[in-house]
């Protein structure tokens, strides 16, 4: 792998941990190197992070590009002088969002901008304020005024599903249609900036952040706290005990089943399989109970700490959970087989919203969306974390790229997860072994990356440690953020009646994208989206 | 074991709490706050803010906090949802002025380290005693 990196013109690698290497590049070479890494070497572009390094005694801004491949995670580091401009590589849509985010949050200057309006901040935020710069206090509230920055097009607009102010979160999916064919698509989200990264960098201590990280998403929160803890563990080189690894694996898989069952249930609801919807939701209820038995909470397990997990899991709890799980397993497997063989599912979703492999690569799609398009990228196999190297499982991959394959990927994955939980519960002796956490010493100015495979795809947390148990920088790249750009490719050319289904098929999570601390419950999630589709007639 | 079945509202035992503030500094959401008045320490728990993480129960040196099985709490105002514990401060042996530590902290210190000679004097009286020598 390192040879392939050399071919792309990279030199002087430094190892952060066994799998993470970092190297410095000059800003003007960046686009060329990224093109080579993604298009030629076949690596996956995870995200980029803008850091205001003035607090570290340097000048300007640093950008870290995170690129990952098999058993290797590459961190490209670029220093940008205050007046220098960074080029957006127009042929790589996967880089658009994070570069514009760096522009809005830390004040990076961009050449050939794709979005001229404020992108990850609400329109009313003043232009001069970059909330993640170090000279901006977290308690400051900028003066806002109502403006609309996103340019409106002259077409006649029909709002199909109006924005309902009852919801905290709001995003617009704007589709341009010609009779009933979708010809263009625009997305505007990020209306609600809560600054959770800023809170983590200023108000909270590093050992309190796992709780806030867990509240980024109401459905797959645990994966965020795992990714955060892994980031710190990689930065400080903490080796976590075996029992903690197994506990994390167990709970991550419980969460995956729970999340996939929710998505499958909602899919059934959308294609009018109401009885299966109810059955799947009932099954999901038992999965939530498993979390409750093991950790005391149905969601927000609150069990992760830096260096391991807390001593919550006892032998009685494991026994009780195993008993529940053996009942649940047969029921759940039967339901999933029923859904898989359903004619209705095939008829309603086959050939809808096709995303080709090439498009998935350049838009940086992750998780089930990528795996339905023939990319076998799964962090659990590529960069094993927790105890995934000790359990055996396979990664379902389909090549059609339509909504049907995304459903099949999720069904197969749920079955695999059931198998993994079985294996982990079988190792209950190792699971109970004490201690559950390792001690660590806090060291400043270390860089760390933590990645997990969330139910929706790869989840990235990036940290730079500061002094006194504080973080200097914390960046979260949640999976929906990486999956939304693929909608440009899969929506255009489709029929309008399928728009809802295609948008729902990436399992969009508003909390993921906006990084809000909002608990998103059951049904609300996808129905919310269907109400927010706006249609403009060409 | 920190909790029995589910993780509910933390309960503070007013007999055991000594107002050290370890729980308040660990709490990630600022639900636990410590206020000082002239002659006592007030520990306040805002149940509506609490996320049931049980960090406070882990941190407490005197095991004064336990996690109850009660999860939901109802009240008409924030005031009703607050749990308050008042810990009296220790008093100076010579003039009776309140000291910086609570009476229970001094007791505990005496219990834990029996041969320690704990002087319960306020700053002024300490100075007076030194000058008188
Ligand atoms: S349980 Fe957690 S949030 Fe609640 S008071 Fe204790 S430390 Fe604070
Ligand atoms: S509850 Fe415990 S930690 Fe909190 S102030 Fe009282 S004694 Fe200290």
Which residue in the set B6, B28, B54 is minimally distant from A292, CB to CB? B6
Ligand at minimal distance from the CA of B22 is: 2
B50 lines ligand 2 (CB under 6 A): no
Asked if A297's CB is within 8 angstroms of B7's CB, the reply is yes
**DSSP 8-state class, residue A93:** G
Which residue in the set B2, B52, B55 is minimally distant from A297, CB to CB? B52
Q: What is the pLDDT of residues A169-213, one digit of tens each?
A: 567 777 888 777 888 888 888 877 778 899 899 989 999 999 999
Beta carbons of A508 and A532 less than 8 angstroms apart: no
Beta carbons of A212 and A186 less than 8 angstroms apart: no
Q: How confident is the model at residue A157 (pLDDT cuts 50, 70, 90)?
A: low
Lowest mean pLDDT among A192-206, A256-270, A432-446, A448-462: A192-206
| Pocket probe mutation, ligand 1, options B23, B24, B56, max atoms within 8 Å of Cβ | B56
Lowest mean pLDDT among A54-63, A360-369, A378-387, A446-455: A54-63
Beta carbons of B59 and B100 less than 8 angstroms apart: no
How close does chain A come to B97, measured CA to CA in Å?
A: 36
Bridge partners, residue B86, by sequence: B42
Which residue shows structure tokens 């304020």? A129
Q: How confident is the model at residue B87 (pLDDT cuts 50, 70, 90)?
A: very high
List C-alpha distances in Å: A341 to A328, A357, A408, A471: 20, 26, 10, 49
Residues A214, A193: Cα–Cα separation, whole Å: 18
Beta carbons of B56 and B26 less than 8 angstroms apart: yes
SS3 sequence, A125-159?
Answer: CCCCCCCCCCCCCCCCCCCCCCCCCCCCCCCEEEC
β A471-477/A85-87 pair status: unpaired
Mean pLDDT of the A347-355 span = 93
**B7 and chain A in contact, CB less than 8 A:** yes
**DSSP 8-state class, residue A400:** S
Q: Which protein residues are within 6 Å of ligand 1, measured from CB?
A: B 10, 26-27, 29, 31-32, 45, 50-56
Q: Please report the pLDDT score of residue A485 as a whole number.
A: 92
How close does chain A come to B120, measured CA to CA in Å?
A: 34
Q: Token pair of A123, please?
A: 């329109």
**B51 and chain A in contact, CB less than 8 A:** yes
Helical axes A242-270 vs A221-236, angle rounded to 10°: 150
Q: Please report the pLDDT score of residue A156 as a whole number.
A: 67
Position with higher pLDDT, A516 vs A11: A11
Nearest CA among A185, A81, A284 for reference residue A494:
A185
Beta carbons of A191 and A122 less than 8 angstroms apart: yes
**pLDDT at A519 > cutoff 90:** no
Residues A400, A350: Cα–Cα separation, whole Å: 9
DSSP symbols for A449-486: EEEEEETTEEEEEEEEE-STT-EEEEEEE-HHHHHGGG
Q: Please report the pLDDT score of residue A149 as a whole number.
A: 67
Q: What is the pLDDT of residues A275-290, one digit of tens each?
A: 999 999 999 999 999 9
β B40-46/B82-91 pair status: antiparallel
CB count, 10 Å around CB of A504?
22
Which residue shows structure tokens 């070497």? A41
Residue count of chain A, please give it: 538
**pLDDT at A453 > cutoff 70:** yes
pTM exceeds 0.80, yes or no: yes
Q: Please report the pLDDT score of residue A140 as a whole number.
A: 81
**B2 and chain A in contact, CB less than 8 A:** yes
Containing A86, the helix (H) or strand (E) segment is strand A85-87
Q: Please report the pLDDT score of residue A448 as a whole number.
A: 94
Beta carbons of A449 and A73 less than 8 angstroms apart: yes
Which residue shows structure tokens 């670029």? A78
Q: Please report the pLDDT score of residue A501 as a whole number.
A: 86
Q: What is the ipTM of this complex?
A: 0.87
> What integer best gives the mean pLDDT of chain B?
88
Position with higher pLDDT, A117 vs A526: A117
Residues A393, A221: Cα–Cα separation, whole Å: 23
Q: Please report the pLDDT score of residue B23 as a whole number.
A: 94
Domains in chain A, ordered, with CATH? Answer: 2-151 (3.30.460.80), 209-438 (1.10.645.10)
β A156-158/A471-477 pair status: unpaired
> What integer best gives the mean pLDDT of chain A?
86
Q: How confident is the model at residue A524 (pLDDT cuts 50, 70, 90)?
A: very low
**Half-sphere CA count of A306, side-chain side, radius 13 A:** 26
Chain B residues in contact with A311 (beta carbon < 8 A): 2
A320 C-alpha to ligand 1 centroid (Å): 27
Chain A residues in contact with B26 (beta carbon < 8 A): 208
Chain A residues in contact with B28 (beta carbon < 8 A): 204, 208, 211-212
Main-chain phi, psi angles of A148, to 5 degrees: -115, 120
Mean pLDDT of the A150-168 span = 59
Residues A204, A190: Cα–Cα separation, whole Å: 23
B66 lines ligand 2 (CB under 6 A): no
Which residue shows structure tokens 């980029």? A48
| Pocket probe mutation, ligand 1, options B7, B13, B46, B52, max atoms within 8 Å of Cβ | B52
Q: Please report the pLDDT score of residue B120 as a whole number.
A: 80
β A533-537/A156-158 pair status: antiparallel
Chain B residues in contact with A310 (beta carbon < 8 A): 58
Q: What is the pLDDT of residues A236-271, one digit of tens each?
A: 999 999 999 999 999 999 999 999 999 999 899 888
Chain B residues in contact with A314 (beta carbon < 8 A): 1
Q: Token pair of A514, please?
A: 């906006």
Beta carbons of A461 and A214 less than 8 angstroms apart: no
Q: What is the pLDDT of residues A387-417, one digit of tens each?
A: 999 999 999 999 999 999 999 999 999 999 9
Mean pLDDT of the A7-26 span = 88
A480 C-alpha to ligand 1 centroid (Å): 30
Mean pLDDT of the B49-72 span = 90
Mean pLDDT of the A523-537 span = 33
Q: Residues 168 to 227 of A: which have CB under 8 A from any B CB? A: 204, 208, 211-212, 215
Q: What is the pLDDT of residues A380-395, one digit of tens each?
A: 999 999 999 999 999 9
Bridge partners, residue A23, by sequence: A76
Q: How confident is the model at residue B80 (pLDDT cuts 50, 70, 90)?
A: confident
**A297 and chain B in contact, CB less than 8 A:** yes
Domains in chain B, ordered, with CATH? Answer: 10-88 (3.30.70.3270), 90-132 (no CATH)
How close does chain B come to A170, measured CA to CA in Å?
A: 25
Residue of chain B minimizing CA distance to A314: B1
């Amino acid at each position: 792998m390192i040879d392939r990196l050399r071919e792309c013109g990279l030199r002087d690698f430094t190892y952060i941990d066994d799998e993470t290497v970092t190297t410095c590049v000059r800003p003007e070479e960046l686009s060329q190197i990224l093109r080579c890494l993604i298009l030629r070497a076949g690596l996956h572009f995870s995200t980029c992070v803008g850091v205001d390094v003035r607090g570290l005694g340097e000048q300007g801004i640093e950008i870290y590009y995170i690129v990952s491949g098999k058993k290797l995670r590459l961190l490209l580091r670029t220093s940008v002088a205050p007046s220098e401009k960074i080029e957006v590589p127009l042929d790589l849509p996967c880089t658009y969002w994070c570069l514009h985010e760096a522009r809005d949050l830390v004040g990076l200057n961009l050449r050939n901008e794709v979005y001229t309006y404020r992108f990850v901040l609400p329109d009313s935020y003043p232009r001069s304020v970059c909330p993640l710069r170090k000279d901006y206090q977290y308690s400051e509230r900028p003066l806002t005024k109502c403006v609309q920055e996103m340019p409106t097009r002259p077409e006649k607009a029909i709002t199909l599903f109006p924005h309902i102010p009852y919801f905290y979160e709001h995003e617009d999916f704007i589709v341009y249609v010609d009779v009933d064919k979708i010809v263009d698509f625009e997305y505007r989200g990020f209306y609600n900036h809560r600054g959770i990264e800023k809170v983590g960098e200023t108000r909270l201590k590093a050992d309190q952040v796992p709780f806030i990280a867990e509240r980024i998403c109401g459905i797959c929160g645990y994966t965020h706290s795992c990714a955060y803890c892994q980031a710190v563990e990689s930065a400080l080189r903490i080796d976590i005990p075996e029992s903690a690894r197994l506990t994390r694996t167990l709970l991550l898989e419980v969460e995956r089943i729970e999340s996939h069952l929710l998505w499958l249930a909602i899919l059934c609801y959308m294609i009018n399989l109401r009885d299966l919807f109810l059955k799947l939701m009932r099954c999901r209820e038992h999965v939530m109970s498993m979390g409750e038995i093991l950790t005391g909470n149905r969601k927000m397990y609150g069990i992760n700490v830096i260096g391991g997990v807390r001593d919550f899991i006892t032998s009685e709890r494991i026994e009780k959970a195993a008993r529940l799980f053996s009942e649940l397993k047969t029921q759940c497997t039967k339901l999933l087989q029923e859904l898989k063989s359903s004619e209705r599912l095939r008829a309603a979703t086959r050939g809808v919203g096709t995303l080709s492999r090439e498009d998935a690569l350049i838009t940086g799609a992750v998780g089930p969306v990528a795996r339905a398009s023939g990319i076998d990228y799964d962090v659990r196999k590529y960069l094993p974390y927790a105890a995934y190297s000790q359990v055996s499982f396979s990664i379902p991959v389909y090549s059609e790229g339509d909504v049907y394959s995304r459903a099949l990927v999720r069904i197969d994955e749920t079955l695999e997860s059931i198998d993994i939980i079985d294996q982990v519960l079988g190792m209950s002796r190792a699971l109970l072994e004490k201690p559950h956490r390792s001690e660590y010493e806090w060291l400043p100015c270390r860089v760390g990356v933590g990645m997990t495979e969330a139910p929706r795809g790869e989840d990235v947390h990036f940290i730079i440690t500061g002094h006194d148990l504080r973080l200097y920088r914390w960046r979260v790249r949640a999976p929906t953020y990486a999956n939304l750009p693929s909608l440009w490719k899969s929506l255009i050319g489709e029929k309008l009646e399928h728009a809802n289904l295609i948008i729902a098929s990436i399992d969009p999570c508003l909390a993921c994208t906006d990084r809000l601390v909002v608990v998103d419950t059951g049904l609300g999630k996808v129905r919310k989206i269907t109400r927010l589709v706006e249609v403009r007639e060409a | 074991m920190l909790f029995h079945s589910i993780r509910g509202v933390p309960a503070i035992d007013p007999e055991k709490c000594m107002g050290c503030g370890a729980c308040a500094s660990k709490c990630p959401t600022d639900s636990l706050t410590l206020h000082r008045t002239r002659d006592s320490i007030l520990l306040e728990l805002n149940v509506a803010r609490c996320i049931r993480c049980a960090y406070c129960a882990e941190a407490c040196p005197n095991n004064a906090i336990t996690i109850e099985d009660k999860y939901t709490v109802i009240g008409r105002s924030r005031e009703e949802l607050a749990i308050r514990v008042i810990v009296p401060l220790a008093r100076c042996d010579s003039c009776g002025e309140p000291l910086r530590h609570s009476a229970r902290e001094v007791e505990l210190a005496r219990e834990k380290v029996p041969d320690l000679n704990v002087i319960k004097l306020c700053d002024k009286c300490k100075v007076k005693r030194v000058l008188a020598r």
